[in-house]
């Protein structure tokens, strides 16, 4: 990708300003923070083509379930703008084609498909407006993408409020991967209670798993929490058991890419092991997510498509080869934690507990209701 704004980060002089991972500009361009380069470089990619958005999602310039959905929604708008359709019907076809294309960028996070469905539905709805110009259709479609983006910030704040009700001053909390502001519009899901705790003077001691192989915990979670002045300690994934054994952790909280109808949870590889460890140590294991991550159409975790990524993520590190040539590699990006390990799922509409088949249906009904004033 060409249009870059490159700033090498000087941590010594940087004042805390939460980094924004997705931004729509007044010039009708999409800006994405290149998360692959953090924590040493802050580079905003400027995107004007739907194919650039596809690659940005696929190559993890933008990553984290909600942020992927937001970026894809803007991607549909870019595609429709560039197509310059001659009629509303042609415009609708173009919107659907771009949505179908973007849906092939990554398979696991259901927020991607949720956001694209919202864009498709809004486009179909707009077909009922008579004599509408294509330029107006584009503007109204952009409004939907902006809404998806803005709603996510408030949703994350609500998740944080509910999650914080489970935490208390001085508590040790362990998290995996990055489910923070970088993965969402703001606050994050699993990290939202940490930001709210800090606003209110509640001290939490956060442990961040480094999260092999892409190191979202070290590069992103440790970075964004440290920048915010939150007490965070970075550990390797294989240290979580010992940290629990020492009694330093009273809760585990993670994000998720998809929750199945029975409460099975897909999240970054390593999450399942952490859940088993938490159970063995009698520590609650919480999952924080917007209701847009709950997929009632997928009955159980074994039906969730799990992305497998390039072997290079495992055979190379620190710029050099760390495994023998021609070694066989298995590199699933996510795993599924069975529902029996999940103490509760924390959403913007409240905390969901087992039996998940019933409680998830109830929360989704609540999510569908119009918001009371």
Which amino acids are annotated catalytic? 257
> Terminus-to-terminus CA distance in the chain, angstroms?
44
- Residue 239, CB half-sphere, CA atoms under 13 Å: how many? 15
Residue 66 CB, shortest distance to ligand MRU, in Å, is: 6
Q: By CB under 6 A, which span of 22-30, 64-72, 198-206, 242-250 interacts with ligand MRU?
A: 64-72
Q: 């330029």: which residue's tokens? A: 135
The answer to whether residue 65 forms part of the interface with ligand MRU (CB under 6 A) is yes
If DSSP codes are grouped into helix, strand and coil, which group holds residue 30? Answer: strand
Q: Is 256 among the residues that bind ligand MRU (CB under 6 A)?
A: yes
Alpha helix segments (H runs only) across the chain: 50-58, 65-83, 88-102, 110-126, 134-164, 192-199, 216, 222-227, 240-245, 271-280, 312-315, 356-368
Given a contact cutoff of 8 angstroms between Cβ atoms, the answer to whether 365 and 272 are in contact is: no
291 binds ligand MRU (CB under 6 A): no
Nearest to 45 by CA among 17, 16, 75: 75
Footprint of ligand MRU on 319-338 (CB under 6 A): 333
169: left (phi over 0), alpha (psi -120 to 50) or beta: beta
17-46: contacts with ligand MRU (CB under 6 A): none
Contact letters for ligand MRU, residues 151-170 (x by CB under 6 A): --------------------
The 184-223 site mask, x for binding ligand MRU (CB under 6 A), equals: x---xx--------------------------x-------
The token duo for 186 is 């703001």
Nearer to ligand MRU, 64 or 301 (CB): 64
Size of the site for ligand MRU (CB under 6 A): 18
Least distance to ligand MRU, CB of residue 269, Å? 8
Name the minimum Å distance from CB 175 to ligand MRU. 9
Q: Please name the residue that has the structure tokens 């442990």.
A: 207
* Neighbour count for residue 27 (Cβ, 10 Å): 8
CB of 233 to ligand MRU, least distance (A): 19
Least distance (Å) between residue 178 CB and ligand MRU:
6
> Segment near ligand MRU (CB under 6 A), from 46-54, 60-68, 82-90, 342-350?
60-68
Dihedral angle computed from the Cα positions of residues 297, 298, 299 and 305, in that order, rounded to the nearest 10 degrees: 170
Of 118, 186, 219, 268, which lies in the binding site for ligand MRU, with binding defined by CB under 6 A? Answer: 268
The one-character DSSP state at 371 is P
DSSP 322-348: -S-TT-----BSEEEE-GGG-SEEEET
Shortest Å distance, C-beta 128 to ligand MRU: 34
Residue 64 interacts with ligand MRU (CB under 6 A)? yes
Closest CB to ligand MRU among residues 21, 227: 21
Q: Interface with ligand MRU includes 255 (CB under 6 A)? A: yes
Residue 154 to residue 350: CA distance in whole angstroms: 14
Among 177, 232, 274, 277, binds ligand MRU (CB under 6 A): 177
Cβ neighbours of residue 120 under 8 Å, at least 6 residues apart?
Answer: 95, 96, 99
**Crossing angle for the helix pair 88-102 and 110-126, to the nearest 10 degrees:** 180
Q: List residues binding ligand MRU (CB under 6 A).
A: 63-66, 109, 177, 179, 183-184, 188-189, 216, 255-257, 267-268, 333
């Amino acid at each position: 990708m060409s249009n870059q704004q490159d700033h090498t980060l000087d941590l010594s002089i940087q004042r805390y300003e939460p980094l924004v991972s997705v931004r729509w500009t007044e010039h009708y361009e999409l800006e994405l923070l290149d998360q692959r380069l953090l924590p040493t470089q802050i580079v905003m990619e400027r995107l004007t083509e739907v194919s650039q958005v596809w690659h940005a999602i696929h190559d993890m310039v933008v990553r984290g379930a909600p942020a992927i959905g937001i970026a894809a929604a803007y991607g549909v708008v870019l595609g429709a703008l560039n197509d310059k359709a001659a009629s509303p019907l042609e415009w609708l076809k173009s919107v659907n084609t771009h949505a179908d294309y973007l849906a092939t960028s990554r398979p696991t996070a259901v927020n991607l498909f949720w956001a694209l469905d919202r864009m498709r539905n809004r486009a179909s709805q707009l077909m009922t407006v008579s004599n509408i110009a294509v330029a107006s259709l584009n503007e109204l479609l952009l409004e939907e993408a902006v809404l998806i983006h803005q709603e996510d910030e408030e949703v994350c704040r609500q998740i944080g409020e509910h999650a914080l009700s489970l935490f208390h001053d001085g508590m040790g909390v362990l998290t995996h991967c990055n489910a923070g502001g970088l993965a969402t519009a703001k606050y994050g899901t699993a990290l939202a209670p940490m930001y709210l705790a800090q606003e209110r003077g509640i001290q939490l001691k956060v442990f961040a798993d480094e999260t092999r192989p892409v190191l979202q915990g070290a590069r992103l979670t440790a970075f964004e929490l440290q920048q915010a002045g939150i007490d965070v300690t970075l550990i390797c994934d294989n240290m979580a058991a010992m940290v629990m054994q020492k009694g330093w952790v009273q809760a585990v909280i993670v994000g998720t890419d998809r929750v199945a109808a029975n409460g099975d949870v897909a999240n970054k590889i390593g999450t399942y092991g952490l859940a088993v460890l938490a159970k063995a140590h009698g520590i609650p294991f919480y999952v924080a997510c917007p209701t847009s991550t709950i997929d009632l159409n997928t009955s159980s975790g074994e039906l969730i498509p799990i992305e497998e990524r390039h072997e290079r993520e495992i055979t190379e590190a620190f710029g050099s080869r760390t495994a023998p040539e021609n070694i066989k590699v298995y590199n699933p990006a996510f795993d599924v934690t069975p529902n029996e390990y999940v103490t509760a799922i924390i959403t913007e509409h409240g905390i969901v507990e087992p039996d998940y088949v019933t409680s998830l249906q109830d929360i989704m009904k609540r999510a569908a209701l119009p918001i009371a004033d």
